[in-house]
């Protein structure tokens, strides 16, 4: 695995998506801007973090919505690697294991880490939160909160850069959520998507259905069916009635 090359690829993709080289990114908003990409949130079980399907016609990423928000952000960055840089196949099912055997999966994971926390930006952030001190759990929490990365993903990144040693995993894994609260952070990063939103489709597929609807190309029953296939019963049945009033709440 060529880390320098993966960090460069992460920088290239940041640039392509209109991001600067160092700031934390709103990765789900970036995904919405990718032309032709359909993003599916789905409970994919205990072992799978995400999937990517791509060919000339289809660009689809699925994210396991039962994993923590921080992990979902990491998984999405991992799937970006498959979407943009992986020539091996058009189909990946990715394990949640952060230390996978496959070289390709290792690369996708390392890419994801660099995409969310670029090499230089992480170094600067470490200096800011810890100065010259040895890193503590609280420092790791501050770093993961800043870059929006899961606790484990940040831990392993710091191990890979020589800031922490792997045998500290247990010490660094307990009491993370309450420590984050004590430090004044929202605990959103550590929580899965709430059950009612765990199955949802966004992006290109929805745009295509809307195009069919606007052009009156299929019956309204068919439109409902297409939306239900995409787990969008919220649209079909108007489950968010309050939205009907039409005014955005700012």
Size of the site for Zn ion (CB under 5 A): 4
Interface with Zn ion, residue 53, by CB under 5 A: no
Q: How many CA atoms lie within 13 A of 5 on its CB side?
A: 6
- Per DSSP, helices labelled H in 1-150 are 3-16, 27-33, 69-85, 103-116, 119-130, 137-147
**CB of residue 88 to Zn ion, shortest distance in Å:** 10
Angle between the 3-16 and 103-116 helix axes, to the nearest 10 degrees?
50
Contact 69, 191 (CB under 8 A): yes
Judged by beta carbon, residue 53 or residue 137, the one nearer Zn ion is 53
Query: Which listed residue (108, 121, 125, 230) binds Zn ion by CB under 5 A?
Result: 108
Work out how close the CB of 82 gets to Zn ion at its nearest, in angstroms, rounded to a whole number.
6
Q: 7 with 117: CB under 8 angstroms?
A: no
92 contributes a contact to Zn ion by CB under 5 A: yes
Q: Rank residues 49 and 201 by Cβ distance to Zn ion and give the closer one.
A: 49
| Region from 24-32, 97-105, 118-126, 242-250 binding Zn ion, contact rule CB under 5 A | 97-105
Window of 23-31, 56-64, 108-116, 117-125 that interacts with Zn ion by CB under 5 A: 108-116
Q: How far is the CB of 146 from Zn ion (least distance, A)?
A: 25
- Listed in sequence order, the residues at least 6 apart from 168 whose beta carbon sits closer than 8 Å to its beta carbon are none
Nearest approach, Cβ of residue 46 and Zn ion (Å)? 17
Between residues 88 and 210, which has the closer beta carbon with respect to Zn ion? 88
Sign (positive/negative) of CA torsion 130, 164, 111, 149?
A: negative
48 binds Zn ion (CB under 5 A): no
Contact flag: residue 94 with Zn ion (CB under 5 A):
yes
CA distance 237 to 20: 40
Q: Which residues bind Zn ion (CB under 5 A)?
A: 92, 94, 105, 108
């Amino acid at each position: 695995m060529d880390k320098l090359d993966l960090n460069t690829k992460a920088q290239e993709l940041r640039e392509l998506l209109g991001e600067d080289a160092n700031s934390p990114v709103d990765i789900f908003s970036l995904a919405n801007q990718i032309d032709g990409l359909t993003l599916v949130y789905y409970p994919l079980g205990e072992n799978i973090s995400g999937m990517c399907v791509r060919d000339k016609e289809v660009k689809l990423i699925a994210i396991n919505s039962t994993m923590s928000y921080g992990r979902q952000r990491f998984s999405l960055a991992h799937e970006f690697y498959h979407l943009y840089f992986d020539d091996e196949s058009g189909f990946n099912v990715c394990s949640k294991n952060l230390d996978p055997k496959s070289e390709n999966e290792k690369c996708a994971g390392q890419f994801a880490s660099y995409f969310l926390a670029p090499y230089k930006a992480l170094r600067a952030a470490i200096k800011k939160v810890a100065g010259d001190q040895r890193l503590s759990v609280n420092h790791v929490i501050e770093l993961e909160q800043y870059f929006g990365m899961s606790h484990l993903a940040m831990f392993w990144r710091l191990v890979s850069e020589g800031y922490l040693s792997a045998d500290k995993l247990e010490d660094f894994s307990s009491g993370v959520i309450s420590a984050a609260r004590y430090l004044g952070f929202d605990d959103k990063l550590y929580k899965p998507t709430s059950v009612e939103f765990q199955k949802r489709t966004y992006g290109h597929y929805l745009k295509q259905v809307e195009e069919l609807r606007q052009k009156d190309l299929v019956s309204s029953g068919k439109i409902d069916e297409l939306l239900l296939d995409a787990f969008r019963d919220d649209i079909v049945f108007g489950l968010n009635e309050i939205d009907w009033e039409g005014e955005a709440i700012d």
